[in-house]
Chain A
Amino acid sequence: MSTIGSEITKAGTAGTAPVRSSMWRQAARRLLKNRLAMLGLAVVVFMFAFCFIGPLFSPYTDNKIHLAQMNKPPSPQHWLGTDALGRDVLTRVMQAGRISLTVGLASMVLSVFIGSLLGAIAGYFRGICDQIIMRLADLLLTIPGLPLLFILGALLSDWKVPTEYRMYIVMLMLSLVNWPGLARMVRGEVLSLREREFMQAATVLGLRNRRKLFNHLLPNLVPLIIVIASLNVGGAILSESVLSFFGLGVMPPTPTWGNMIDSANNMIDFQKRPWLWIPPGFSIFATVIAINIFGDGLRDVLDPRPRK
C-alpha cells in the first residue's frame, strides 16, 4: 500500500476497534439483568437441586410402605404427610421430580436433535429431501398429539413393557410427537437464511455443503433452537404428567408427578387430603412456568444480531 494510503488506513481504524467481550459473556451479562428470567432460572435450579439432591437427606425411601402411617397429614416427621400406603409424600415428590425432569430433558434433547437436523436438511437441500421429511412431519402433525400418545401408551401396556423401561419408551414417544413442529420451524428459518447474502458468500468461497450447513446455518439457528428447546422441556414435562395421570405413561410404583396426582384422583383424597395432590401439582406448575420464563429470557439475550 502506498504510504499515504497506509497512514489513512491506520488513522481510520485506530479509534474504532471495539471493546471485546465474547458473545456468551455479553449474553450472560444481559441475562443477569433480566430479573424475571433469573427468577425462572432460580426456580429451575431449585427444582433440580430439590429433586436430585433432596432425597439424599430424606430418612425415607419412595416406595417403603408403612401401613401404620397411612394418610397422615403433614407433621414434623412427614413434612408433606403420607399417602394411602404410608409412603412419605415429600420423598416421593422429589423422586417423582427426578423422573419427570429427566423425561422432559431427555425427550427435549432427542426431539430437538431430530427436529433441527431434519428441518435443517429439508430447508437447506430442498427438493426430494424436503418433500420426504416434511410430508412425514405433516403426517405426524395431522394426528393430534395427545390421542397419538394415548394409543402408543395403550399399546405399551398391551405389550407388557416392563415398568423400568417405560420411562425410556415414554421419552421416545414424546420426542416422536414433538419433532415435526420443531422441524417445521427450523426449516422455515433455514429457508430464509439460505437466501441471505452471507450464504451466497459462503458458496462463493467454495465451502462444502456440510460446512455451510453446520458452520454457517446452525449457529444462526441457535437462538431459535434454544427457545424451542426450553418451551419443549416444559411441554414434555406436561405431556408426561398427562400420560402418567391417565395411567399410560410411567407406571406406579415408580413415582412421577403425573401418576401421584392420578393416585389422589378420588373425592376423598381431593377433599380431605390436599397434601397428596397439591405438592406434585405445584411442582409441575412451578417447573413448567419457570422453564418457559427462562427460555424467553434466553431468547432475548442470545440473539447476536444487533438489537433494534
Chain B
Amino acid sequence: MSDLLEIDRLKVYFDTREGTVKAVDDVSLRVRRGETVCIVGESGCGKSITAMSIMGLVGSNAAAGPFVDGQIRFDGRNLLRLDRNELRTIRGREIAMIFQEPMTSLNPVLPIGEQIMEPLIEHLKLSRKAARARAIELIRKVGISRPEQIAKSYPHELSGGMLQRIMIAIAISCNPKLLIADEPTTALDVTIQAQILDMMRQFKADSNMSILLITHDLGVVAEMADYVVVMYSGKVVEEGEVVELFTNPKHPYTRGLLKSKPVINQRQDELYSIPGQVPNPLELRPSCYFHERCERCMDVCRTREPRLREVGDNGKVACWLYEEAVVHA
C-alpha cells in the first residue's frame, strides 16, 4: 500500500517588496496510513505553511499568490493540481484540519450543532434530521455532557477546551483519512491539553486515521508521534522515529531543542536556550541556516548547504557533521 500523504520537494516562496521569502524550501515528508507524524520547529520555520499548502489554503487566499512548486500526493492524487471542486470533495471529507485557536475557528453566530452538521450534509449527504442526530452523537463522543444543549449553544458560551473538542468532533465527523492538527493544544491549559491529545489518539486508534501534528511542544511530540520531522527556516533538518530522535538526536538544532526542555524533578537555575535568533528569511545565503547559532559550526557550514541524507536506521539529517567526506577531510 502506498503512503497516504507524500510531500515531494514542496516549495512555497512569497514575493515581498524586500525580496523573496522562502517560507517552505524543498520540504519532503511522508505520512503512512495510521501513523502520527509530528512537524516540530520554532515559530516561522514553515510548519504551518506546509500544513496550509496541503489544504490548498496557500495561494488561494492572498491576492498576489506565492510561488508554489513540488508535489503533494494524497492517496495517489496531486493536491496542487486539483481544481476547486475536486479539492472541495477532499477537504473535510478525507483530510480534516484542526486549528490552533478554537475560539476563533468557529463561527460566532452559528449554533455549535449547526456547524457540526454542515460537513455531514455537504459530504455525507445526510438529511438535516440525520445530521442533527449524528452531531449530537459526535458531541457526546468527544466527552461533553448534555450534548443536546451544547448543540444549541453558541461558541462564546463554551470554554476553550470544550471548543477544541467541538473542533475535533467536526474534524472526525466524516471519518477523514488524515487529520492535520496545527498546534491544537497551544491555546489550552496543560490539563486540557492532555485530554485533547488523549482524545485524538483514541480516535486515531479507532479509525486507522493518520495524524499530521504540527507543534513546537516536545512534550506533545513525545506523547503522540511515531515519526518526527524537525524543521528550521523552511527546511527539514532532521527526521526519524520518535524514540531514536529523542534518545539519539543528531542535528545540533534538535539537540538544542531537547536540551531546552525542562526535566521534572531536577532543579535547574536557568533553562537552556539555543543562543541567537532565527535568521531573517530575506537574508539567507547558501549555508547551513543554523550555522550562526550552532555550537559545532565548521567552515563548510558557512558557505555550503548540507543535504538531507540518511543516517542510521530510518533517520535523516541535514548537517555537515554527518557528511563523512567533510568530517574526515
Interface on A for B, CB 8 Å cutoff? 1-2, 5-6, 8-10, 12-14, 16-18, 20, 22-23, 126, 195-198, 200-208, 211, 215-216, 219-220, 222, 304-306
| Bound CA span A13–B105, Å | 20
Q: How far is the CA of A95 from the CA of B199 in the complex (A)?
A: 67
What are 24 inter-chain pairs, A to B, with CB distance below 8 A?
Answer: A1-B143, A5-B143, A13-B143, A13-B144, A17-B145, A20-B149, A197-B101, A198-B104, A198-B106, A200-B99, A201-B167, A203-B55, A205-B119, A205-B122, A206-B89, A206-B90, A206-B93, A207-B92, A207-B119, A219-B109, A219-B110, A304-B109, A304-B156, A306-B156
Name A204's contact: one of B96, B108, B159 (CB within 8 Å).
B96
Say whether, besides A10-B143, A204-B97, A206-B93, A18 and B107 are in contact (CB < 8 Å): no
Chain B residues 271 to 315 lying within 8 A of chain A, measured CB to CB, are: none
Task: Say yes or no: A196 contacts B104, CB within 8 Å.
Answer: yes
Q: Which 9 A-B pairs have the closest CB atoms?
A: A206-B92, A206-B91, A9-B143, A205-B92, A18-B157, A197-B104, A5-B198, A219-B109, A201-B105
Q: Shortest CB–CB separation between residue B19 and chain A, in angstroms?
A: 25
Does B249 reach chain A (CB closer than 8 Å)? Answer: no
Residues of B within 8 A of A206 (CB): 87-93, 119, 122-123
Pick from A13, A202, A203: contact of B162, CB below 8 A: A13
B152 at the interface (CB under 8 A from A): yes
Given A20-B149, A197-B101, A204-B96, CB of A5 within 8 Å of CB of B199: yes
Closest CB in chain A relative to B95 CB, distance in Å: 8
In the docked arrangement, what's the CA distance between A201 and B155, Å? 14
Question: A17, A197, A305: which contacts B150 (Cβ < 8 A)?
Answer: A17
Which A residues are CB-close (under 8 A) to B123? 206
- What residues of A have a CB within 8 angstroms of the CB of B63 in the complex? 126
Q: Which residues of B contact A305 (CB under 8 A)?
A: 108-109, 156
Contact status B145-A13, CB under 8 Å: yes
Residues in B whose Cβ lies below 8 Å from that of A14: 145
Enumerate chain A residues within 8 angstroms of B153, measured Cβ to Cβ: 18, 20
Question: How far is B165's CA from A5's CA once the two chains are assembled, in angstroms?
Answer: 13
In the complex, A10 Cα to B202 Cα: how many Å?
16
Q: Are B122 and A207 in contact (CB under 8 A)?
A: yes
Q: With A207-B92, A304-B154 in contact, do A197 and B105 touch (Cβ < 8 Å)? A: yes
- Say if the beta carbon of B161 comes within 8 Å of chain A: yes
B57 at the interface (CB under 8 A from A): yes
Within 8 Å CB of B167, what residues of A? Answer: 201
Chain A residues, Cβ within 8 Å of B104: 196-198
Known A22-B152, A197-B101, A201-B106; 7 more pairs at CB < 8 Å? A1-B143, A5-B195, A12-B161, A17-B146, A201-B99, A205-B96, A206-B90
Give CA–CA (A211, B106) in the complex, Å: 15
Chain A residues with CB under 8 Å of B110's CB are: 215-216, 219
Residues of A contacting B226 in the complex (Cβ-Cβ under 8 angstroms): none
Shortest A199–chain B CB gap in Å is 8
Out of B106, B154, B191, name the residue touching A23 (CB < 8 Å).
B154
- In the complex, the answer to whether A205 meets B143 with C-beta atoms within 8 Å is no
Interface flag for B133 (CB, 8 Å): no
Residues of B within 8 A of A195 (CB): 61
Distance in angstroms between the alpha carbons of A304 and B109 in the assembled complex: 6
Within the complex, the shortest CB–CB distance from B276 to chain A, in Å, comes to 32
**Minimum C-beta distance from B105 to chain A (A):** 4
Indicate if the CB atoms of A198 and B105 lie closer than 8 Å.
yes
